[in-house]
Amino acid sequence: MTQALTERTTRELRDRTEMLLRGLGAVPPEPGSLPARTPITGGELASLPPSSIIDVDLAIGAADRAFREWRSVPAPQRAALVRRLAALLTEHQDELAELVTLEAGKITAEARGEVQEMIDICEFAIGLSRQLYGRTMPSERPGHRLMETWHPLGVVGVISAFNFPVAVWAWNTALALVCGDTVVWKPSETTPLTALACHTLLRRAAMEVGADPEVHQLIQGAAEVGTRLVDDPRVALVSATGSVRMGRTVAPRVAARFGRCLLELGGNNAAIVTPSADLDLAARAIVFAAAGTAGQRCTTMRRLIVHTSVVGPLLDRVAAAYRQLRVGNPLDEGVLVGPLINSQGYLGMQSALRRALEDGGELVCGGERVEGFGEDAFYVRPALVRMPAQTAVVREETFAPILYAMTYNDLDAAIELHNGVPQGLSSSLFTQDQREAERFLAADGSDCGIANINIGTSGAEIGGAFGGEKETGGGRESGSDSWKAYMRRATNTVNYSTELPLAQGIRFE
């Protein structure tokens, strides 16, 4: 693509972005020093002024004041706001999905799927608003009732990453709102426009149902903005999604002020393929999990541990599929792999491939840059690398489409290899042997927060709690009982007798 053609395409995308923002009710921002670039061409879609430290303080203060009223609104009434947000997301699904594609580079199907996740978590949260259950426990003292109740926690700070620019925000925000919390959102500085659109829709929903729009605040900018949010004692919970390096910074700062953290950090996800596996099914699952979103998911499959008896046929299938994957403009029909987010992603991928080859790896296919999209756009073919061992580079997370394949002979050794990385997010086992499946799911099997049988490592549903162990951070978002992270628990004892017996039979007379 010539420079002139790249510039013309960027202008067209810029005009389209402005049209989408207006259609979503968001006034295009005034120019500022925070650029919003599209990975499709590498050009600038818009720029906007970043939040100042004063802006951050004002946003937290507004959220804190709104919390004083919002916490007393009955939870089913709070759900009215989330219900209206879900309706607006459904109405504008196509426009918001296209904005995700323009700003994050996802193919259309994945972008629409991400917006659908937002709608799904809103529906989950609406039902949850009538199920914030506590327990009643038997008291050892006669004439006493012992129980627990759950109360709104406070201001929730949400820090999200570029690869899921809207879904992760919705996971946190929908649950936080029905739990009675208010939200201050700091999105990735790489995807400020999708954040502006979502913030606008939520504010509109609040006004339409008579809720206080101040329950949600948006701050934009780089690290110093996030640091101010993390350090503020008015922020009861910081839910941060990003790299392990980011988590190592956030966690001690929040702990220093005795705040709460919910961390969703790195993943280095693997699949074990056993001799009994359905290889055609496994290959399809592996290709999507490893190449989808150009390898830029925290649940991307990065390691493949295959029994020696089936490694040849399986890698032949995966390599054949890789060679057929259409890499290109994510707005084009039939494209399955879009661009990397920026040059740093590309350089990181090339560095990892060089290290893998230096460690004795064999490049089966892929890894090269796809030209023709301009010098500032970074499209690559997903890489399949056969490794002799799990070397240092394999144990690291490279946020790009590299799949390292290794072999095993004994399932116990395969599980040990699988668990032998610092991260612990998602995992898979492909087998038709029930014993092997149960072994993988047992306490001494996969050490990840997500363990799957005969599906890939990505594509989690909102009904189950999402998160991982070890350097992944230990947080849980979305479904199951993850709502408890957004609330505080109180243990209550009610004495309805005329006596005052003490616990443990103590007498004090």
Query: Residues 146-202: pLDDT tens digits?
Result: 999 999 999 999 999 999 999 999 999 999 999 999 999 999 999 999 999 999 999
pLDDT above 90 covers a percentage of the chain that reads 95
pLDDT above 70 covers a percentage of the chain that reads 99
User: Could you read off the pLDDT of 114-154 as tens digits, one per residue?
Assistant: 999 999 999 999 999 999 999 999 999 999 999 999 999 99
- Per-residue pLDDT at 27: 87
Catalytic residues: 264
Residue 2 has pLDDT above 70, yes or no: no
Find tokens 């040059």 and name the residue. 343
Mean pLDDT over each residue of the chain, to the nearest integer: 97
Integer Cα distance of 234 and 226 in angstroms = 14
User: Could you read off the pLDDT of 352-368 as tens digits, one per residue?
Assistant: 999 999 999 999 999 99
User: Could you read off the pLDDT of 300-333 as tens digits, one per residue?
Assistant: 999 999 999 999 999 999 999 999 999 999 999 9
The reported pTM is: 0.96
Residue 497 has pLDDT above 70, yes or no: yes
- Per-residue pLDDT at 338: 98
- Per-residue pLDDT at 3: 75
Residue 335 has pLDDT above 80, yes or no: yes
Among 283, 169, 173, 224, residue whose Cα is nearest residue 51 = 224
Integer Cα distance of 272 and 285 in angstroms = 12
pLDDT grade for 18, boundaries at 50, 70 and 90: very high
Residue 5 has pLDDT above 70, yes or no: no
Q: How far apart are the first and last CA of the chain?
A: 90
Mutual angle of helices 192-209 and 93-104, in 10-degree steps: 160
pLDDT grade for 28, boundaries at 50, 70 and 90: confident
Give the strand pairing for 144-152 and 487-495: antiparallel
List of domains in the chain:
3-265 (3.40.605.10), 269-463 (3.40.309.10)
What are the two backbone dihedrals, phi and then psi, of residue 257, each rounded to the nearest 5 degrees? -105, 15
User: Could you read off the pLDDT of 435-457 as tens digits, one per residue?
Assistant: 999 999 999 999 999 999 999 99
User: Could you read off the pLDDT of 377-413 as tens digits, one per residue?
Assistant: 999 999 999 999 999 999 999 999 999 999 999 999 9
Write a three-state SS string for 298-322.
CCCEEEEEEECCCHHHHHHHHHHHH
pLDDT grade for 30, boundaries at 50, 70 and 90: confident
Higher pLDDT, 19 or 29: 19
